[in-house]
């Protein structure tokens, strides 16, 4: 009967009382221990420095509890051989191996600055485009490893390290770690751990849980669990015990990704379910996974570009009260309205705008024409009638005063011509002149018209009251502002 050895660790430093813990200042060959960096199911990792040249590195030492009769020391040291055999920039570099005095093997690898993928996922949701970039780098490392005949067998978020990328901080560089239980397909069985199943239950492929032969498709299944967890923020199978999780991997189908993410791209959902097939032969290869991930990335980019091209109504811009509003004439409103319309739809609005402008001008002309006509008639009478001598009678006094009052404003208003007639050619926006005082009937009777002058019909002597000027009515709502800064009256 085989037992399960999980490589899932807490990642936290161990207690100093544990025999597996290396205290600060201890030595492993020429390397001095500085501090513990992390701990997993197979061993612990320490920050070390070379005592002679000062080179900084990371040191991994296998747990002492694994030193059982069935454990082969060369099994641990095989990791250095595997990594050097692959030689890929997305795989951690190992440059020295050795053994401690108690027989525990160790390996020395490059020290990385960054964080594990599991820590990054726990800190916050990863966007789909970033998840795809990370998975594509993992695929590159696996393609190189499978081409060299090596299967990782322990893919999980803890074994993917994100290195700070100075050239592109938004996309970290991936380093694939922990090749300690990797299997060289062409190697013999003496490097396996007899009677034990190694791996992490949450990421274990069905054939791996049964103790069957592993292949490159075994890594595809574990990579599918990682992708499912990163995209949907949950594992496909979750239970209280490792045995229950392994049983679910063997017999149950994963929940459809669309149940968790309704807008998941169909191509991504199909890929995740294909990677989690129970039979290895039904899963895609790593190269196929990379190709389909790139297609999903292109689909997401097209979605983002399409959503950015959607025309949205402009949001209301609060008006600065310190800036006065600019009054817009009817002609400008008509020009603004017709400019924003298609050519085939402009003519009805242009005709309506022209009618509106024409009616407004006719209305203003009628108002301006009435007032100057009345004032010109009154002034013309006063101008052609000689000013009589001041009479001692009351009627004469009133007539002289009325004529004098009517004649005085003629000299003060520039719009009256030298012949005391009203100039009607006024600007459209200039205020119409006010009505002058009219001559009373007694004054009309005392004036002697010219023999050749045409006698006009009697006019009403009652002065027409001036029409009060109405102030413009404030709009019921504020004008909407177009993106180009103009006011659109049709909103």
- Residue 488 annotated in active site: no
The encoded tokens of residue 470 equal 């109405």
91 pairs with which residues across the strands?
176
- Per annotation, catalytic residue among 74, 113, 154, 380: 154
* Closest by CA position to 103, among listed 78, 79, 69: 69
Would you give the end-to-end CA distance of the chain in angstroms?
79
Q: Strand, coil or helix: what is 144?
A: helix
Structure tokens at 483: 């993106």
Question: Between the CA of residue 153 and those of 142, 148, 198, 223, 334, what are the distances in Å?
Answer: 11, 15, 8, 10, 73
d(CA 275, CA 270): 9
Backbone angles phi, psi at 85, to 5 degrees: -70, -35
Q: Which residues contact 18 (CB under 8 A, 6 or more apart)?
A: none
For residues 70 and 195, is the Cβ–Cβ distance under 8 A? yes
Could you tell me if 162 and 134 are in contact, meaning their C-beta atoms sit under 8 angstroms apart?
Answer: yes
Within 10 angstroms of residue 117's Cβ, the number of other Cβ atoms is: 24
Q: Count CA atoms closer than 13 A to 95's CA, side-chain side.
A: 10
Give the residue numbers marked as catalytic.
154
């Amino acid at each position: 009967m085989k037992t399960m050895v999980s490589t899932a660790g807490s990642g936290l430093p161990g207690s100093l009382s544990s025999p597996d813990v290396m205290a600060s200042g201890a030595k492993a060959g020429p390397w001095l221990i500085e501090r513990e960096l992390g701990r997993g199911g197979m061993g612990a990792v320490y920050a070390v420095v070379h005592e002679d040249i000062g080179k900084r590195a990371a040191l991994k030492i296998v747990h002492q509890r694994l030193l059982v009769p069935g454990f082969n020391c060369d099994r641990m040291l095989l990791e250095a051989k595997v990594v050097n055999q692959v030689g890929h920039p997305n795989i951690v570099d190992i440059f020295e191996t050795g053994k401690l005095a108690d027989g525990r093997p160790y390996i020395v690898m490059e020290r990385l600055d960054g964080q594990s993928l599991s820590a990054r996922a726990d800190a916050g949701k990863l966007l789909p485009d970033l998840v795809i970039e990370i998975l594509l780098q993992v695929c590159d490392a696996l393609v190189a490893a499978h081409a060299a005949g090596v299967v990782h067998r322990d893919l999980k978020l803890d074994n993917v390290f994100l290195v700070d990328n100075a050239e592109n901080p938004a996309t970290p560089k991936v380093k694939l770690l922990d090749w300690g239980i990797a299997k060289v397909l062409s190697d013999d069985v003496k490097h396996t751990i007899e009677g034990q199943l190694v791996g992490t239950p949450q990421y274990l492929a069905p054939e791996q849980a049964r103790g069957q032969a592993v292949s490159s498709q075994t890594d595809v299944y574990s990579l599918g669990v990682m992708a499912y967890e990163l995209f949907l923020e949950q594992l496909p199978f979750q239970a209280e015990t490792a045995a229950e999780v392994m049983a679910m991997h063997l017999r149950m189908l994963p929940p459809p990704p669309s149940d968790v993410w309704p807008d998941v791209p169909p191509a991504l959902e199909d890929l995740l379910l294909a990677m989690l097939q129970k039979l290895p032969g039904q899963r895609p290869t790593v190269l196929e996974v990379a190709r389909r991930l790139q297609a999903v990335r292109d689909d997401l980019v097209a979605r983002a570009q399409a959503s950015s091209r959607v025309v949205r109504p402009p949001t209301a811009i609060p008006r600065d009260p310190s800036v006065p509003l600019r009054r817009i004439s009817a002609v400008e409103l008509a020009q603004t309205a017709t400019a924003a319309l298609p050519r085939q739809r402009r003519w009805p609005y242009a005709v309506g705008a022209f009618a509106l402008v024409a009616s407004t001008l006719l209305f203003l002309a009628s108002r301006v024409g009435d007032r100057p006509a009345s004032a010109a008639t009154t002034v013309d009478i006063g101008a052609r009638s000689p000013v009589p001598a001041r009479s001692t009678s009351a009627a004469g006094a009133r007539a002289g005063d009325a004529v004098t009052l009517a004649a005085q404003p003629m000299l003060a208003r520039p719009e009256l011509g030298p012949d005391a007639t009203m100039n009607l050619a006024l600007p459209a926006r200039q205020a119409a002149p006010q009505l002058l005082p009219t001559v009373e009937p007694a004054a009309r009777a005392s004036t002697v018209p010219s023999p050749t002058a045409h006698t006009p019909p009697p006019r009403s002597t009652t002065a027409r009251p001036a029409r009060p000027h109405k102030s413009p009515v404030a709009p019921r709502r504020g004008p909407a502002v177009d993106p180009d800064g103009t006011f659109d009256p049709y909103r």
